[in-house]
Chains A and B, each alone.
Chain A
Amino acid sequence: MPAKKKTTSNGSADRILYIGIDLGTSRSAIVASNGKREWVQSYVGWPKDFVSKKMLGRDVLFGSDALENRLSLRLTRPLEQGVIRDGTQQDEDAVRALVHHLIEQVNPGKAAEIYAAVGVPAEALRVNKLAIRNAVKEYADSLMVVSEPFAVAYGLGTLNNALIIDIGAGTADFCIMHGTMPGEEDQRTITVAGDYLDQQLKNRLNEKHPEARFSETMIRTFKEEHGFVGSHRERVKIKVPIGGVSTALDVTADVRAVCEGLVPVLAEATMDLIARYEPDFQEEVKQNVFLAGGGSQIKGLAEGLTEELKQFGSFNIRPIDDPLYAGAEGALALAQDMPEEYWEDM
């Protein structure tokens, strides 16, 4: 790996670059104190052989670039299921390469000292704490790792009596905020999330349209563009190749059924977590539920979840603004608020 820490011998406060990174299963984003922000799909690919390498002219490819050239690559999404998969050195290398790539995107400059706060899926923080730290520390002079929903909450300033539901690709992370850093008992992770919905949708469509061919990328795009819960006036029509001919299919009912499958699972986990919270503050939490992550963009999800939870009382559930960068912005805010002496010790 070519890049190394950016430390300078005389680093001073005005030369520090603070960065917040949201390392996600599907997308990763970075926001820096120099005002730059970028995101990339969390794909990393290495050329399969010397022919691919010669053709591509690069040692490693990222994001949509990697996806477009996937046939020539060993392609990986390193945080599949929200964690670095057990025993796969390739995935650890991929996290390292992805972090390096992200940092390069915000032009840290040769003289900058980098203080990085990284939000990762809650399960990754539980399972791969050290691996994540090791992957990132190579490129940062000082580093803090936090769970993704906590980073989102910090960025929103919803630090007390609030529930963050971060619906990512690999996992949906639930985190109750109660005025301090959440512990394991305040968090819950389920794997019914974006990838699960994609699989369900693919199964349904394959069953209904065996003559058509659906790739995973296609399915993910359908869901992201058209996913909805509840009533929806517009029909969802997609074009897929059947026998080599592009054909329009009406998939409204399938998209709706799959997305609505998410609602009872979210409701069950939400109630489970709230029921364990301090009784005096449960009602307040119900009024401060925020949906984050890519899954929060499913149309009508907040309303559907509110309806599902009606039997347990009144809820105020809102999708957050700017879900793509919310985690990274929160991590950056945390990085900038962190006292200098803490950074120096890390």
Chain B
Amino acid sequence: MLRRVYEENRRIKDGGAAEAALRRRYATLWAGGVVLILLLVVVGVQLFGEEPGDAGTPDFGATTILDANLPVLDVGPDADAGLDPDQFREMLKGSTPLAALFDLQVRTIVLDPGHGGDDPGAIGLKEVWEKDVTLDVARRLRRRLEQRGYTVLMTREEDETVSLRERVEFANRQPTDLFVSIHANSFPDAPVNALETYYFGANTERTLLRLAEAENQGSDYTLADFNDMIRRLSSTVKLQESRRLATAVQRSLVSNTRIEAPNVQDWGVKAGPFVVLLGSDAPSILAEISVLSNAAQADRLQTEAHREQLAAFLEEGVLNYLVDRSRRQ
């Protein structure tokens, strides 16, 4: 037992060292990039043959870079070092909101109603099917978000079979700013009512792997595709924003659901190995908005009023996330 405690802590420690090494690599790459930009600036100035800022001269010089709404990074006298690695470590670590730093806006939201067509998803009590619930709630959520001026696209409009790969490719073809996958849980062997929201991340919990396996069925990705997606996941912005969006949505789902179902369990925001979250380039979450195997929830899901409520809870979560973003900016 003590050995396992030791090994677990060893893993955390080694993970920290690996993360630090990764950040050093990022810092080096970034430093290289900035040095390159500065070289281009110098070349540009020399080509135009005038001091930057002179009347009649296209202002491609240093002023242009400083005017851009980018962080101004201190390039010290040591050209090889380029930037202060601490600044980069600070910027790349989870606490720095990069999307806010670069003033990234949200305009297009893709909704992904889970399952559909040949894939019913979970079949709950009272013959409530996951694919029907997710589609109906997604349609209602689309209407709500469109009324607020967002462009909302859906990975499926009807009861049709759409593979996970097609969903991801659809989202990546669009100028997607946020990707929200809607699902519902089912625990036939346990009298549980719980809510949970995921963003992509490694998690080896056995029950979660089973859930991911169920939700990942029909992904038709090859191992090579998967490895490629993992490589692309290095996007810090996507991870940060996915986690923030998941947190806002989960809070809204739980606090609102508790008004009528006080015993609902908050299983929180989790990192989970879901293919749709991994593949999508935009910040992405997967929300399990209800439990089909819970008798009371199954009853409520049969009413339009409750499905409209669920759409409103999701809307509130997304909007809270966006408000929080605008505050950060």
Residues of A in contact with B (beta carbons under 8 Å apart): 86-89, 92, 123, 129-130, 133-134, 143-146, 159, 179-181, 183-185, 189-192, 261, 264-265, 268-269, 271-272, 275-276, 334, 337-339, 342, 345-346
Q: Are B2 and A338 in contact (CB under 8 A)?
A: yes
A291 to B100, CA, bound (A): 44
CB < 8 Å: which of A123, A143, A189, A272 contacts B192? A272
Question: For residue B191, which residues in chain A have a CB less than 8 angstroms away from its CB?
Answer: 268, 271
Q: Known contacts A86-B94, A87-B94; decide if A346 and B263 are in contact (CB<8 Å).
A: no
Q: Known contacts A87-B97, A130-B19, A338-B5; decide if A185 and B12 are in contact (CB<8 Å).
A: no
Closest B residue by C-beta to A346: B9
Question: For residue B218, which residues in chain A have a CB less than 8 angstroms away from its CB?
Answer: none
B206 within 8 A of A: yes
Q: Are A346 and B10 in contact (CB under 8 A)?
A: yes
Interface centre among B187, B243, B268 (most CB of A within 10 A): B268
- 7 closest residue pairs by CB, A with B: A181-B4, A342-B6, A184-B205, A87-B95, A185-B206, A191-B266, A129-B12
Question: For residue B3, which residues in chain A have a CB less than 8 angstroms away from its CB?
Answer: 342
Question: For residue A342, which residues in chain B have a CB less than 8 angstroms away from its CB?
Answer: 2-3, 6
Question: For residue A181, which residues in chain B have a CB less than 8 angstroms away from its CB?
Answer: 1, 4-5, 8
Question: For residue B207, which residues in chain A have a CB less than 8 angstroms away from its CB?
Answer: 185, 276
| Per-position binary interface string of chain B over residues 161-186, scored 1 when its CB falls under 8 Å from any chain A CB and 0 otherwise | 00000000000000000000000000
Q: Are A334 and B2 in contact (CB under 8 A)?
A: yes
| Per-position binary interface string of chain B over residues 239-274, scored 1 when its CB falls under 8 Å from any chain A CB and 0 otherwise | 010011001000000100000001101111000000
B300 within 8 A of A: no
Q: Are A346 and B13 in contact (CB under 8 A)?
A: yes
Q: Are B2 and A130 in contact (CB under 8 A)?
A: no
CB < 8 Å: which of A146, A180, A268 contacts B265? A268
Closest A residue by C-beta to B187: A272
B78 within 8 A of A: no
Q: Are B12 and A89 in contact (CB under 8 A)?
A: no
Besides A192-B266, A342-B3, 10 other A-B contacts (C-beta < 8 A): A144-B9, A180-B1, A183-B205, A190-B267, A191-B268, A192-B265, A268-B193, A338-B2, A345-B10, A346-B9
A272 to B192, CA, bound (A): 7
A87 to B4, CA, bound (A): 30
B16 within 8 A of A: yes
Closest A residue by C-beta to B328: A87
A52 to B204, CA, bound (A): 48
**Cβ of A112 to closest chain B Cβ, rounded Å:** 21
A143 to B16, CA, bound (A): 14
Question: For residue B19, which residues in chain A have a CB less than 8 angstroms away from its CB?
Answer: 130
Question: For residue B1, which residues in chain A have a CB less than 8 angstroms away from its CB?
Answer: 159, 179-181
**Cβ of B13 to closest chain A Cβ, rounded Å:** 7
Residues of B in contact with A (beta carbons under 8 Å apart): 1-6, 8-10, 12-13, 15-16, 19, 94-97, 187, 189-193, 203-207, 240, 243-244, 247, 254, 262-263, 265-268
Question: For residue A268, which residues in chain B have a CB less than 8 angstroms away from its CB?
Answer: 191-193, 263, 265
A117 to B99, CA, bound (A): 37
Q: Are A334 and B5 in contact (CB under 8 A)?
A: yes
Closest B residue by C-beta to A129: B12
Question: For residue B192, which residues in chain A have a CB less than 8 angstroms away from its CB?
Answer: 268, 272
CB < 8 Å: which of A145, A264, A265 contacts B12? A145
Q: Are A86 and B266 in contact (CB under 8 A)?
A: no
* 17 A-B interface contacts by CB (under 8 A): A86-B243, A86-B244, A87-B240, A92-B95, A143-B9, A180-B4, A184-B204, A185-B206, A191-B266, A264-B263, A265-B263, A269-B265, A271-B190, A338-B2, A342-B2, A346-B6, A346-B13
Question: For residue B266, which residues in chain A have a CB less than 8 angstroms away from its CB?
Answer: 190-192
Question: For residue A183, which residues in chain B have a CB less than 8 angstroms away from its CB?
Answer: 205
Q: Are B12 and A133 in contact (CB under 8 A)?
A: yes
Closest B residue by C-beta to A150: B5
Question: For residue B16, which residues in chain A have a CB less than 8 angstroms away from its CB?
Answer: 130, 133-134
Question: For residue A346, which residues in chain B have a CB less than 8 angstroms away from its CB?
Answer: 6, 9-10, 13
Question: For residue A264, which residues in chain B have a CB less than 8 angstroms away from its CB?
Answer: 263
A342 to B9, CA, bound (A): 10
A125 to B15, CA, bound (A): 14
CB < 8 Å: which of A123, A261, A334 contacts B262? A261
**Cβ of A251 to closest chain B Cβ, rounded Å:** 19
**Cβ of B325 to closest chain A Cβ, rounded Å:** 12
